[in-house]
Structure formats: C-alpha cells, structure tokens
Amino acid sequence: MKIDALATPALVIDAGRLDFNIKEMARALPGDRLRPHVKAHKCTEIAKLQALAGHRGFTCATIRECEGMVAAGLGEDLLLANELVDARRLGALVANRARVTLAVDSLESIAAAASGGVHEVVIDVNVGLQRCGCDPGEAGRLADVARSRGLEVRGVMGYEGHVVGLEDASERARLCRESMELLLAAHAQVGGSLVSAGGTGTYDCNTWATEIQAGSYALMDVAYGRLGLPFRQALFVDAIVISSCSQWSVADAGLKAFGMDHGNPEAEGADVWFCSDEHVTFGPPRRVGDMLRLVPAHVDPTMAYHERVHLVSGDDVLETWPIDLRGW
C-alpha cells in the first residue's frame, strides 16, 4: 500500500526515525535506567520495540494502559504513575502474576492500594509541578503507614513536569537539580531502591533519578523539537488540501486530529494560521489534492485522538498498528 492511498487525516510514523530514536535512547539510558512512559504513544507495538531495546519496565498513566500492556505480554514491571481511589482492577492484574506498582500520596490512596490487592507502591512527591504528590516532608510518614498496611514501598517518584519543556538548557538543568534535591530528601526518609523521575526533556541532565520515565522521545513533537535533543521527528499527520485560493489553502485535518494544548501543528514550508474542527488553514497556498505533512505540537493527546497509526518508509505503508491503549 502507498501513502497516497490512506484515508486522511492519517497518523503516520516514519519507521527509520522511530528506530533511530529507540536506539539512541537505549544507548543513553540502557536497561533499567529507562522506564518508558507508554502514555506518549499508547501503542503496544511501539512498547514491544522498546522492550526489544532492553527496556522491560514501563510507566503507565491509566489502568487501561496497564491492562493492555499485560495483555500484550509486557507486564513484567509496570508502574502506574498516578493516584487511584479504587485499585481493584490493578489487583486483578497482580493476582494474575503481573507486577504492578502504584503511586500513592495520601492515606486514602494507600488504603486503595491495600484494599485493591496491589502489593507494591512508590511514594509520589511534589517536586514543583503542583499536580499530584505529597509534601516532601510527609513522604516518610506515608511510607511508614504503607508498610503498616502490608505494602512494600519500592521508593519514591517525582515528576519535574514544570521543567522538562524549558527551552533554555541551563535553566532546565538548574531547575531539574532543585526538583531532584527535594525528591532525594524525601527518598532519605522513605528508603527503597527506586528514585523514579524525569521525562524526555530532562533525560540527559537528570542524573539523580535511578530511572527516567521518558516517553515522547520515541515519536517527538513540535514542543520537544525546540529543545535541541538528538531525537528525530517521527510522528506526522498527513492531510490533503481540499480548498485553495490566492492567499491560503485548507487541508482536512483539524482540532479532532491534533493535541492543541501546546499550540498549532507545524508543516515544513507552510505557515499554519489556525485549526478548526475538521480543517487546518495555512499559507502560502497549494493545489487542491496536494498532501500536507503536519507535525503535532503535543504527541500524547494526538495519539489518543486516533484509532490507528501507519508505519511508513518513503511512500510505502509497511504496517498499520492499533493505538490499543487508548481510553480508561
């Protein structure tokens, strides 16, 4: 099958660039130094390639991702890096011999883990993002409570998400260090072997964490592409120009095809003006019927909007993979 036979908007991955990115990250963070975050791609076929590169432990954001990874034979060591108030679906995976560790940051989330049948946890620490995570000074007390409930505390987790996208590399490194100082202080109270943190933007400067939870590196997007990282843009949305005039053109991919929280998609040789529900308006104009290849601004939600992704090389479609970890 050729690319021009795909129904548009078509989500495509350049096979050579995907292979390069996975190998580059495996070289930089071999083995258990990387715990790839599957929320970025939500596709077990990509996760299998990461496992073949030596990364057997994975990070998940949802119960659905954990269930899908186990079903694909990738349940050797999963970390659900998110709090739950009902962990029974995870407990069912554990009962079927999957290894699932749950992030906890309160008495309630500890109770949910214990009553839901999850045996292992990490203490989630707020290191500056102002999202989930306990105060660093509370981490030790929560670890003690978790152990009193019969849970094994594997260590701590803290995500410097407010840092990973900063374009100034020196500022990114400085703030990453400050965040990890908080996490290491918490780890001194908690104990355990894991200090889990990081993302694609800090994979190279976060030398304090025992494992890095990067995910976007495999596919990349506009936001991470601005950071000067060694990874190549592998993910695109192909659209067809359906209307054109003397000043602009319109292609058939809009708000329902892209994660827009980081801004407009970009296209080589074109200036994207705006997106509406089913359209992207851009200039300078092109002919009706021409293909426009767009780079998503944010990889994670873009993947979640699509049911399938096509692996391509040149003009050839090599495979079509389901995005089988979508949903909750």
Report the chain's mean pLDDT, rounded to a whole number: 98
pLDDT of residue 167: 97
17-218: which CATH topology? TIM Barrel (3.20.20)
> Average pLDDT, stretch 51-77?
98
pLDDT of residue 166: 97
- Give percent of the chain with pLDDT exceeding 90: 100
pLDDT of residue 261: 96
Q: What is the DSSP letter of 301?
A: H
pLDDT band for position 85 (cuts 50, 70, 90): very high
Q: How far is CA 71 from CA 65, 74, 75, 225, in A?
A: 10, 7, 8, 33
For residue 97, pLDDT over 90 is answered with yes
pLDDT of residue 328: 86
pLDDT of residue 127: 98
- Do the strands 100-104 and 77-80 form a parallel or antiparallel pair, or are they unpaired? parallel
Parse the chain into domains and list their residue ranges. 3-11+231-322, 17-218
Query: Chain-centre distance of CA 183, in angstroms?
Result: 21
* Rounded distance between C-alpha atoms, residue 302 and residue 290, angstroms: 22
pLDDT, tens digit (0-9, with 9 covering 90-100), for 182-237: 999 999 999 999 999 999 999 999 999 999 999 999 999 999 999 999 999 999 99
- Tokens for 311? 């692996």
pLDDT of residue 311: 98
Please state, as a whole number, how many other Cβ atoms lie within 10 Å of the Cβ of residue 75: 20
> Average pLDDT, stretch 107-127?
98
Angle in degrees, 0-180, between the axes of helices 169-190 and 139-148, rounded to the nearest 10? 40
pLDDT of residue 102: 98
Please state, as a whole number, how many other Cβ atoms lie within 10 Å of the Cβ of residue 309: 24
Is the domain 3-11+231-322 a CATH 2.170.150.70 member? no
DSSP character string of 59-126 = EESSHHHHHHHHHTT--SEEEE-S--S--HHHHHHHHTT--EEEEE-SHHHHHHHHHHT--EEEEEB-
pLDDT, tens digit (0-9, with 9 covering 90-100), for 40-50: 999 999 999 99
Please state, as a whole number, how many other Cβ atoms lie within 10 Å of the Cβ of residue 184: 18
Angle at 76 between CA 176 and CA 59, to 5 degrees: 30
pLDDT, tens digit (0-9, with 9 covering 90-100), for 274-314: 999 999 999 999 999 999 999 999 999 999 999 999 999 99
Same fold, 3-11+231-322 and 17-218: no
* Rounded distance between C-alpha atoms, residue 160 and residue 202, angstroms: 9
pLDDT of residue 243: 98
For residue 325, pLDDT over 90 is answered with yes
Q: How far is CA 206 from CA 64, 149, 183, 202, 294, in A?
A: 29, 32, 12, 6, 31
Q: Which helix (H) or strand (E) holds 250?
A: strand 249-251
